[in-house]
Amino acid sequence: MHEATADELEKLLERIALKDQSALEQLHHRVAGKLSSAAMNVLYDSDMSKDVVQETLLQIWFRAGDYQRSQSEPMTWMSAILRYRAIDRLKCEGIEKNRRDQFERFQECTETRALDTPVTHLLTQELHRQLRGGLTSLCTLNRNALVMAYYYGYSRESIAIHLNQPVNSIKACLRRDLMKLNRYLSC
C-alpha cells in the first residue's frame, strides 16, 4: 500500500469525524506502521506500543472532529496524540512500579514473627473474606474501576479511557462504590 498523502489522511479524518468505521480501518492500515514506530521510540516495549497505538486510534475516533489542517498536518496531529498517550503510559508504569516497590518495602519493614499469631491470622482471613464479599457485591465494571483506582493506583482519567466511560461517571462510581464497600465492611 502506498504512503498516504496529507490530503488523503485529512479526508479520512473528516469521515471518521462522521463516525465512518471503514474510514478508521483505512486510516489504521495507512498509519499504524508509523504510529507503532513512534510508540516504540518512546516506550521500547512492543506490547505497550501496541496498546498505545490502539488507545491513539480510539482517541482519534472520538476527536477527529477537532482536527484542523490550518493547525498541523494530519500525521503530525496523530503523532502528537500518540506521544501524549505514550508519555502517560510511561508515567503510569513508573507510578505503578513505585507503588509496588513502596509496598514491598512496607511489607519488609512490618513483617515480624510477633505479628504472625493465630489470632492475627484469623482476623486477617476474616477481613479478606469481608473485602472479597464486598467487592463481589459490585457489578464487574464498578469493581474493576475500584480495583484499578485503589489497588493499582490508576488515575480517574486512565480508568475512564480503559473502561471507555466518561470521567465524571468514573468519579461518581468510585465515590458511590467506596461508600458501599465501607458500609459492607462495617457490618
C-alpha 164/C-alpha 148 separation (Å) is 14
Q: Does the pLDDT at position 93 exceed 50?
A: yes
Domain that holds residue 62: 6-91
Q: Which residues touch 116 (CB under 8 Å, ≥6 apart)?
A: none
C-alpha 168/C-alpha 157 separation (Å) is 9
Residue 104 lies in a domain: no
Asked if 60 contacts 78 with a C-beta cutoff of 8 angstroms, the reply is yes
- pLDDT single digits (tens) 7-51: 999 999 999 999 999 999 999 999 999 999 999 988 888 888 999
Tell me the three cell numbers of residue 119: 489470632
CATH assignment at residue 82 = 1.10.1740.10
- pLDDT single digits (tens) 112-162: 444 566 666 666 777 777 778 888 888 888 888 888 887 778 888 888 888
C-alpha 73/C-alpha 80 separation (Å) is 11
Domain count, the chain: 2
Whether the pTM exceeds 0.75: the reply is: no
For residue 112, give the DSSP letter.
Answer: -
Residue 99 lies in a domain: no
Residue 97 lies in a domain: no
Residue 135 lies in a domain: yes
- Statement to judge: residues 182 and 130 lie in one domain: yes
CATH assignment at residue 157 = 1.10.10.10
